[in-house]
DNA sequence: CTAGGGTTAG
């Protein structure tokens, strides 16, 4: 009997598909406000006054602030509007606010240089020479043509890494042959960006300001993206604001760079605000901007936001490119919409675009997490048939998908292909995916062989691999192997996390005597408080108050996604150690602490107990609790039962986790409760009101 | 990396 929740499989494989669209509501509401309020709400706050460059314009954050206040004043249930935004700027005394220039900055035209070959070779020598000043100067002696403006620019453009770019730049400066225009700074900055040298970039920028060299949109976007890559987001915003203050309008490249800054910070509100103000300035965003929008909604798992992006592109007649599709597909996955991802992919292929490895990685991952075996395998076939591009991440994603779907043979074939392949190597991801499969199917022999192979080829086991192995050996009751693998992993640097502890705890729940003690000894190293708590639960004399306090404190120190597994395991432990009432206490506490949202749902026609996220023991406990409640209601006649009562265990779409429905069925039978497994709805147990009422009455009669 | 923006893995 496999405890559904407590398998490492469930711990690892359940993607936190979130249906929470709070952020989108906010974003869309914000969007609505932005569409409507420009006529009524004080426009001075949104207006970037460019007509008087001497007057300092308010900074971006100052401008955002009043908008934030506006949204807080908004009635909470305003309907969402996803229509094409219309500019409604009608205040004649003020100009239409403009936040970006609709013209991209022009780039200087390319000048042909006949001695390009010589200079490129020279640049390569500079790039390859020693980093010391002397070595560099020695090569400089051999410059094949005089360092005119264009020659110097060409060399500078071909130089890497950044240290060399700086050396050459400084050398040109000392030569004093021509003024250093903006483009020279821009080229050096780009090189510095590759080296993530934000401080040096900023130094150069100040040098430009001091010496009166103009900073243009290319300069700013380079500074901003460098700050972004160095995770200096406040710096990125600071430079964006600085450009307004100097009277320079960002063009769409700089603008979408900043959109992405907010996107990476997860600030949906700010992204939407900037986007909307760009739109009302007459901007038609290009695919890059839409990719940024898609990313921000994807990160928030926000389906409404994704729909908004699609609709915007449609109404503005912007054709998505491959990157936009890839980002949208990824976003669909995060929003838990595998079906829509599938149709979006077909739309993409129909439009004539060919998927790349990233596209396929996103889709395969989505199908795997959704347990859509048919679609995953069909796509895999199509990939092979069409010769669509693969890379090592896609290979590993296919392996993980096999783990999600329990495709042991397919995974082994792929694993061997990868082993033989020249263009991809087995790495820790590949091995971990295989360990996940063997852990799921309970193939302890192969799991052990793989573990030994890993140490032989020098690929360290990570915490997830260790968890899979613990699960595998626990299920196989090979407790000595479990202990060995745990000890070795910890010695080699694996830091046990809450998932691993949950897995150990689940093994404890179905082990007895010595075996349980051995596993508890492992758990003792990883989480001693949990072991103490298990002992408290077993001890009859522990009071409810103490259990409650200690449990709360343990949960507080447990990561979110491991809390329910912990509670499930602890309930199982109580039931398997003859502490049934304590199991009821823990279930009650778990419910109070919000670990089982929606456990019981009511409509006028039907009351339902949802035990899909519960372990076998927890599901049994919940069912008993429910029966007690129903009996009390029937006897006290305080409330009318609905026509239908049902319990949902889930059908166990996962190949290896179909144990819950069976265990539940036998528990129902043991209690002689009148619930029947539904023929047409898999995973449902159903009783009518009459059944329950007469069952309660006959039990009451028997008790007299 | 040929002066600037966006996308892949428990």
**Confidence tier at A428 by pLDDT (50, 70, 90):** very high
Residue A328 (CA) to nucleotide B6 (C1'), in angstroms, measures 12
- Residue A427, CB, strand B, below 7 Å: yes
Query: Which helix (H) or strand (E) element contains residue A606?
Result: strand A606-610
The Cα A465–Cα A489 span in angstroms is: 9
Of A90-104, A280-294, A482-496, A553-567, least confident by mean pLDDT is: A90-104
The Cα A139–Cα A164 span in angstroms is: 12
User: Max alpha carbon distance in chain A (Å)?
Assistant: 111
What is residue A669's predicted lDDT score, i.e. its pLDDT?
A: 86
What is residue A654's predicted lDDT score, i.e. its pLDDT?
A: 52
Residues 6+ apart with CB under 8 A from A193: A201, A222, A225, A226, A229
What is residue A661's predicted lDDT score, i.e. its pLDDT?
A: 83
Stretch A688-699: mean pLDDT, rounded? 90
* A151 backbone dihedrals φ, ψ, rounded to 5°: -65, -45
The Cα A409–Cα A393 span in angstroms is: 20
Give the pair of three-digit tokens for residue A643.
Answer: 């026509």
Sheet holding A644-648, edge to edge: A600-602, A606-610, A644-648, A684-688, A676-677
The Cα A702–Cα A40 span in angstroms is: 73
What's CA A303's distance to the chain center, in Å? Answer: 14
A624 close to A660: Cβ distance less than 8 angstroms: no
Of A235-244, A319-328, A478-487, A658-667, least confident by mean pLDDT is: A658-667
Stretch A99-113: mean pLDDT, rounded? 87
- Residue A418, CB, strand B, below 7 Å: no
Residue A494 (CA) to nucleotide B10 (C1'), in angstroms, measures 15
CA separation (Å) from A12 to A8, A77, A498, A592, A699? 6, 37, 12, 25, 43
Asked if the peptide bond before residue A161 counts as cis, ω within 30 degrees of 0, the response is yes
In the numeric block, the tokens 């996390």 are attached to A497
Stretch A125-134: mean pLDDT, rounded? 92
Q: Is residue A143's pLDDT more than 70?
A: yes
Task: Report the candidate in A432, A458, A447, A565 with the shortest Cα–Cα distance to residue A504.
Answer: A565
The interaxial angle of helices A428-441 and A392-405, nearest 10 deg, is: 10
The Cα A186–Cα A673 span in angstroms is: 77
Pairing relation of β-strands A606-610 and A644-648? parallel
The per-residue pLDDT for range A216-269, each reduced to its tens digit, is 999 999 999 999 999 999 999 999 999 999 999 999 999 999 999 999 999 999
The Cα A704–Cα A701 span in angstroms is: 5
What is residue A108's predicted lDDT score, i.e. its pLDDT?
A: 83
Q: Is residue A47's pLDDT more than 50?
A: no
Chain A residues 657-686 with Cβ under 7 Å of strand B are none
- Where b means 16+ CB within 10 Å and e means fewer, A590-617 reads bbebebbeebeeeeeeebbbbbbbbbbb
The Cα A343–Cα A321 span in angstroms is: 16
Task: Report the candidate in A15, A1, A10, A16 with the shortest Cα–Cα distance to residue A503.
Answer: A10
The interaxial angle of helices A22-36 and A60-73, nearest 10 deg, is: 100
Stretch A415-436: mean pLDDT, rounded? 90
Residue spans of alpha helices (H) in A387-512: 392-405, 408-420, 428-441, 444-457, 463-475, 479-491, 498-509
The per-residue pLDDT for range A443-466, each reduced to its tens digit, is 999 999 999 999 999 999 999 999
Give the pair of three-digit tokens for residue A681.
Answer: 């709805």
**Confidence tier at A56 by pLDDT (50, 70, 90):** very low
What is residue A91's predicted lDDT score, i.e. its pLDDT?
A: 52
A305 close to A332: Cβ distance less than 8 angstroms: no
- Residue A322: CB atoms within 10 A of its CB come to 16
* A591 backbone dihedrals φ, ψ, rounded to 5°: -65, -45
- Residue A404: CB atoms within 10 A of its CB come to 29
Stretch A136-147: mean pLDDT, rounded? 92
In three-state secondary structure terms, A600 is strand
- Give one DSSP letter per residue of A635-702, joined into a string: HHT-SPPPSEEEEE-----STT--HHHHHHHHHHHHHT---EE-SSSTTEEEEEHHHHHHHHHHHHHH
In the numeric block, the tokens 């129902």 are attached to A668
- Residue A107, CB, strand B, below 7 Å: yes
- Residue A428, CB, strand B, below 7 Å: yes
Of A301-310, A489-498, A649-658, least confident by mean pLDDT is: A649-658
How many contiguous H segments (helices) and E segments (strands) does chain A have?
34, 5
The per-residue pLDDT for range A629-647, each reduced to its tens digit, is 999 999 888 888 999 999 9
The per-residue pLDDT for range A353-381, each reduced to its tens digit, is 999 999 999 999 999 999 999 999 999 99
Q: Is residue A53's pLDDT more than 60?
A: no
Higher pLDDT, A213 or A63: A213
- Residue A467, CB, strand B, below 7 Å: no
**Confidence tier at A110 by pLDDT (50, 70, 90):** confident
Chain A residues 558-587 with Cβ under 7 Å of strand B are none
**Confidence tier at A668 by pLDDT (50, 70, 90):** confident
Q: Is residue A29's pLDDT more than 70?
A: no
- Residue A391, CB, strand B, below 7 Å: yes
The Cα A584–Cα A87 span in angstroms is: 59
Q: Is residue A352's pLDDT more than 90?
A: yes
**Which nucleotide's C1' is closest to A104 (Cα)?**
B4
Nucleotides of B under 7 A from a protein CB: 1-10
Residues 6+ apart with CB under 8 A from A106: none
| CB-based burial label for A271 (10 Å; 0-12, 13-18, 19+) | buried
Chain A residues 251-290 with Cβ under 7 Å of strand B are 251-257, 260, 285-289
A623 close to A668: Cβ distance less than 8 angstroms: yes
Q: Is residue A54's pLDDT more than 80?
A: no
- Residue A136, CB, strand B, below 7 Å: no
- Residue A358, CB, strand B, below 7 Å: yes
Report the mean per-residue pLDDT for chain A.
84
In the numeric block, the tokens 């001890």 are attached to A539
Q: Is residue A58's pLDDT more than 80?
A: no
* A678 backbone dihedrals φ, ψ, rounded to 5°: -70, 140
The per-residue pLDDT for range A380-423, each reduced to its tens digit, is 999 999 999 998 999 999 999 999 888 999 999 999 989 988 87
- Residue A329, CB, strand B, below 7 Å: no
Give the pair of three-digit tokens for residue A291.
Answer: 């990719």
In three-state secondary structure terms, A31 is helix
**Confidence tier at A657 by pLDDT (50, 70, 90):** low
Find residue A686's DSSP bridge partners: A646, A676
What is residue A700's predicted lDDT score, i.e. its pLDDT?
A: 81
Q: Is residue A499's pLDDT more than 90?
A: yes
- Where b means 16+ CB within 10 Å and e means fewer, A379-392 reads bbeebeeeebebeb
Rg (CA), chain A: 32
């Amino acid at each position: 009997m496999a405890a559904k929740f407590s398998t490492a499989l469930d711990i690892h494989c359940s993607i936190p598909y979130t249906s929470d669209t709070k952020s989108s509501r906010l974003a869309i509401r914000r969007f609505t406000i932005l569409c409507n309020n420009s006529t009524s709400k004080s426009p001075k706050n949104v207006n970037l006054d460019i007509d008087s460059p001497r007057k300092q314009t308010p900074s971006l954050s100052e401008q955002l602030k009043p908008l934030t206040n506006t949204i807080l004043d908004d009635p909470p249930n305003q309907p969402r509007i996803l229509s094409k935004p219309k500019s409604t700027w009608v205040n004649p005394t003020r100009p239409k606010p403009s936040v970006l220039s609709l013209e991209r900055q022009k780039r200087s035209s390319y000048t042909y240089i006949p001695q390009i070959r010589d200079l490129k070779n020279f640049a390569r020598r500079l790039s390859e020479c020693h980093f010391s000043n002397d070595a560099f100067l020695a090569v400089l002696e051999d410059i094949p043509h005089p360092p005119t403006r264009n020659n110097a620019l060409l060399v500078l453009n071909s130089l890497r890494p950044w240290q060399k770019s700086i050396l050459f730049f400084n050398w040109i400066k000392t030569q004093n042959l021509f003024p250093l225009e903006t483009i020279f700074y821009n080229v050096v900055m780009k090189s510095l960006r590759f080296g993530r040298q934000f401080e040096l970039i900023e130094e150069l920028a100040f040098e430009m300001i001091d010496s009166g060299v103009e900073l243009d949109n290319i300069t700013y976007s380079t500074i901003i993206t460098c700050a972004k890559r160095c995770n200096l987001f406040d710096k990125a915003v600071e430079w964006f604001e600085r450009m307004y203050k100097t009277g320079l309008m960002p063009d769409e490249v700089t603008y979408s760079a900043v959109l992405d800054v907010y996107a990476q910070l997860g600030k949906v509100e700010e992204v939407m605000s900037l986007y909307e103000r760009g739109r009302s300035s007459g901007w038609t965003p290009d695919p890059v901007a839409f990719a940024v929008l898609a990313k921000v909604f994807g990160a928030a798992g926000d389906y409404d936001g994704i729909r908004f992006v699609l609709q915007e592109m449609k109404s503005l007649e912007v054709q998505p490119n491959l990157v936009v599709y890839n980002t949208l597909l990824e976003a669909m996955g995060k929003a838990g919409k595998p079906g829509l991802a599938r149709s979006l992919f077909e739309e993409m292929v129909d439009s004539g675009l060919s998927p790349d490895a990233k596209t396929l990685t996103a889709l395969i991952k989505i199908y795997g997490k959704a347990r859509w075996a048919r679609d995953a395998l069909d796509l895999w076939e199509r990939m092979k048939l069409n010769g669509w591009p693969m890379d090592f991440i896609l290979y590993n994603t296919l392996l993980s998908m096999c783990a999600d779907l329990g495709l042991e043979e397919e995974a082994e074939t792929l694993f061997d292909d990868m082993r033989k392949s020249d263009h991809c190597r087995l790495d820790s991801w590949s091995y971990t995916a295989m360990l996940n499969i063997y852990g799921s199917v309970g193939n302890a022999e192969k799991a052990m062989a793989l573990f030994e192979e890993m140490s032989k080829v020098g690929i360290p086991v990570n915490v997830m691999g260790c968890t899979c192995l613990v699960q595998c050996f626990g299920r196989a009751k090979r407790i000595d192997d479990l202990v060995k693998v745990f000890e070795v992993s910890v010695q080699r640097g694996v830091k046990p996390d809450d998932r691993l502890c949950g897995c150990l705890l689940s093994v404890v729940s179905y082990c007895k005597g010595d075996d349980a003690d051995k596993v508890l000894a492992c758990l003792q190293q990883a989480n001693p408080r949990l072991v103490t708590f298990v002992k408290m639960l077993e001890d009859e004399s522990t009071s409810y108050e103490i259990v409650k306090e200690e449990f709360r404190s343990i949960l507080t120190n447990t990561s979110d996604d491991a809390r329910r597994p912990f509670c499930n395991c602890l309930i199982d432990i109580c039931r398997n150690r003859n502490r049934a009432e304590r199991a009821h206490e823990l279930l009650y506490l778990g419910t109070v602490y919000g670990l089982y949202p929606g456990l019981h749902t009511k409509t006028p026609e039907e009351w339902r107990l949802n035990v899909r996220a519960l372990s076998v023991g927890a599901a049994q406990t919940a069912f008993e609790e429910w029966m007690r409640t129903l009996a009390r209601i029937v006897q006290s006649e305080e409330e009318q039962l609905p026509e239908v009562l049902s319990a949902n265990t889930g059908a166990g779409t996962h190949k290896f986790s179909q144990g819950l429905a069976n265990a539940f069925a036998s528990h129902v039978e043991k209690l002689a409760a009148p619930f029947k497994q539904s023929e047409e709805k898999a995973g449902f147990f159903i009783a009518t009101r009459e059944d329950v009422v007469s069952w309660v009455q006959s039990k009451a009669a028997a008790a007299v």
